[in-house]
Structure 1
Amino acid sequence: MTTTADATVGEIRGPRKLGPLTPLVGEWEGDVGVDLSYHNDDDVTDRTSYFEKASFAPIPIQENGQQKLWGLKYSMTAWRHGEEAMDPFHDEFGFLLWDKANGQVMRNVVFGRGIAILAGSDAGSHDTQLHFNAKPGDPSYGILQNKYLMERAEIEDFTSSFTIIDDETISYTSDLVLRLAAAGVTMHHTDENTLRRVKRFHPSQA
C-alpha cells in the first residue's frame, strides 16, 4: 500500500527525477536501532540496540534499452551500543532505483556475509512509504545466498520499507524470514531504526 505526500513533508522543488527517492538524498544518523536476531554463540534469539550511519547519493541515469532508471547509491553501517569505537556489526551497500515509466522502486543490496537481494514493488512519484519485497526463486525480485547459509539459515522471504516522516526524519523496517536447520524452526530477523539528516548534498558544500 502506498501513501501520498502530505503537508507534514517539506515541499520539494525541482524536476524530482528521483521520484519518491528524492527526500532520502543526504547523510543520516540514528541512535534508536533495534535488531532482533538469533545469536549463535549463546543459542538464543535476542534484541540488540544500535547506532547507525547511512548515506544516499545520486548516481548517473541508468539506461536498459528503453528503460530509464534514476537512483541512489547507498550504504548503511551499524554499531552495537557500547561498541561504537569498535568494528560495526552490520554493513551493507547497494542501490535504490526508480523506474518512473513502470511505477517501480527497487532495492539492490549486497551484504558482506554472502547475500545478494533485488527487491521491489509498485510506487508513485510522491509516495512517502516505499516497500521492497523479494522471495527466493522469483525471476525479478529474488534472493541469493551462499551455500553455507542455504544449508543452515535459508532465507525464505525478505520485506523492508522506508517511511519519510518529515523533511529531516526517516525510518525503516526490515524483516528476513529464516529457516534455521539446526533448530528446525522458522524465525524473523528484524531491524528498525529512525534516522535524522545530518548533511545535505549541495554543490556549495566542500
Structure 2
Amino acid sequence: MTLLVFFGLTSTITNASTTLDFGPLKSLIGTWKTVQSGGIDVSPAQKGSKVGQGGPAVEPFYEVITFIPVADAINASDQYLTAIYYEQEVFRKRDNGKFHDQRGYFLYDKKNQLVYNSFCVPRGVCIVSEGKAGSKIDFTTSSEGIAQSKFMVDSASTTGFNMMIDFTEKDKLHYSQTTNLKIYGKPFAHSDSSTLEKVQ
C-alpha cells in the first residue's frame, strides 16, 4: 500500500500495479539510477559564466528517477487512462548539487495506444507531450501543451519539447530530449541525455 498526498488530498493506492493495466509502462515501475558514465545537460549559460550569457553550458550529471503506479481516470466519458507518477532528481557530478527537479505522470491510453508525459519543473513551467505507446516512445508537444509563468514567457519561453525514451532492454532506460527555448533574445536548444539502470 502506498500513501500519496497531492495538494492536501490523500489518496490510498492499493496494489495498483497488479490491478490496473499500464501496458508497456509497467516495466518502468521502480527506481532507476544513472549508469557510471552519467548524463549530459547542455543549457543556456548565465551572465558571468565562462562561456558567456546564452552560450552552451555543458554539465555532466547523475540522477534518480522513481516511477510509482497511482490510479486510473476517465476523461469526457470516453478516454480511459492509467497513470504512473514519477519523481526525477538530477545532480551535478562536479559538486553533487541538485540542479533539476521534475514531477510528473506517464499516462497510458490503451484504446488509442498513446502515452502522455505530463510534468512540471519548479521554474513556473509545465509540459504535456504525447507519443505512440511502446517500449520506445517519441514524445512531442505543441504550443497548447506548454504552460508557463509570465516571467518565463517574457524572458525564457519554452516554444517546444520533444523526448525519446527507450526501455526495450531489460532493466535499462535511455532518454534524450530537447527543450526549445527563446532566451536572451535568441533561440536555444536545451538538451539532456542519459542512461539509467533499474535498481529496485
Query: Following superposition of structure 1 onto structure 2, how do residues 55-204 of structure 1 map, counting pairs within 5 Å?
Result: 55-64=66-75, 65-84=77-96, 86=97, 88-123=98-133, 127-136=134-143, 138=144, 142-180=145-183, 182=184, 184-199=185-200
C-alpha offsets along residues 125-174 of structure 1, whole Å, 9 cap, x if unaligned? xx2211211121x3xxx101111111122111100121014111011111
> Do the aligned partners of 1:21 and 1:71 also contact (CA within 8 Å) in 2?
no
> Do the aligned partners of 2:25 and 2:135 also contact (CA within 8 Å) in 1?
no
How many Å separate the matches in 2 of 1:131 and 1:122? 7
> Do the aligned partners of 1:16 and 1:22 also contact (CA within 8 Å) in 2?
no
Q: Deviation at 1:81?
A: 0.5
Q: Deviation at 1:83?
A: 2.2
> What's 2:32 paired with?
28
* Bigger mean CA deviation after superposition, 157-166 or 16-25: 16-25
> Do the aligned partners of 2:166 and 2:174 also contact (CA within 8 Å) in 1?
yes
Q: Deviation at 1:16?
A: 8.1
Superposition misfits of 4+ residues, deviation over 4 angstroms: none
> What's 1:37 paired with?
43
How many Å separate the matches in 2 of 1:17 and 1:94? 19
* Bigger mean CA deviation after superposition, 66-75 or 188-197: 66-75
Report the residue type matching 1:122 in the other structure.
K
How many Å separate the matches in 2 of 1:89 and 1:197? 22
- Unmatched runs of 5 consecutive residues or more in structure 1: 1-13, 200-206
> Do the aligned partners of 1:97 and 1:106 also contact (CA within 8 Å) in 2?
yes
Any idea what SS the aligned residue of 1:89 has? strand
Q: Deviation at 1:60?
A: 1.6
Q: Deviation at 1:66?
A: 3.0
Q: Give the % identical residues.
A: 26
How many Å separate the matches in 2 of 1:145 and 1:75? 20
> Do the aligned partners of 2:176 and 2:192 also contact (CA within 8 Å) in 1?
yes
- How many residue pairs match? The answer is 175
Compute the TM-score of the two structures, normalised by the length of structure 1: 0.80
Q: Deviation at 1:82?
A: 2.6
